[in-house]
Amino acid sequence: MRHQSSVTKIFVGQISVNDNLEAAEVAEILSEYGIQPHEYTLVVNALRKNPQAWLDFMMKFELGLENLNPKRALQSAFTIAIAYIVGGIVPLAPYIFIQVARKAVIAFVVLTLMALLIFGYAKGHFTGNKPIRSALQTDLIGAIASAAAFGMVKAVQG
């Protein structure tokens, strides 16, 4: 948030000091979308009349930044915290319910691979990719990462 505020101040200064250069940048951005000079001149002039819209346009299309709602920060933090808790409980559950360590490890591996398949499938479904392929990729990457971590622990332990 603080970084975005400082960038906003810089852009406000640039627009007020050198509006012709900023107008040329808007024109260049619009031309990249196939908009012709006789069309984007109207847009540039309209943005010049509305400094806040001009600032928002430049922040979004030049820097890829958008205004964030500060009230969503708490909601986002809560959502992430819940996801981490649930994501951590799923693979650790076997250790809570199974007393024998070797059996718990096997249950951990099976449960984690199943969870990765489900999450990968959901990711593929919601992102418009092939769900089965996404599930298998997520599972494979998770398995490789787990094997690498296990190997590093074994190497350190000797």
Instruction: Give tens-digit pLDDT for 37-71.
Output: 888 888 888 888 887 887 888 878 777 766 667 77
- Output the CA torsion 18→24→30→33 (10° steps): -130
What domain range includes position 111? 72-157
**Residue 43 has what pLDDT?**
86
Q: Quote the number of domains for the chain.
A: 2
* Residue 104 CB contacts under 8 Å (≥ 6 apart), including other chains: 94, 95, 98
Task: Look at residue 67 and tell me if it is in a domain.
Answer: no
Last residue of a domain, one of 61, 86, 109: 61
Task: Look at residue 66 and tell me if it is in a domain.
Answer: no
Same domain, 144 and 84: yes
Same domain, 56 and 77: no
Task: Look at residue 94 and tell me if it is in a domain.
Answer: yes
**pTM summary value:** 0.52
Q: What are the CA-CA distances from residue 147 to residues 88, 90, 95, 100, 110 (Å)?
A: 18, 18, 19, 21, 14
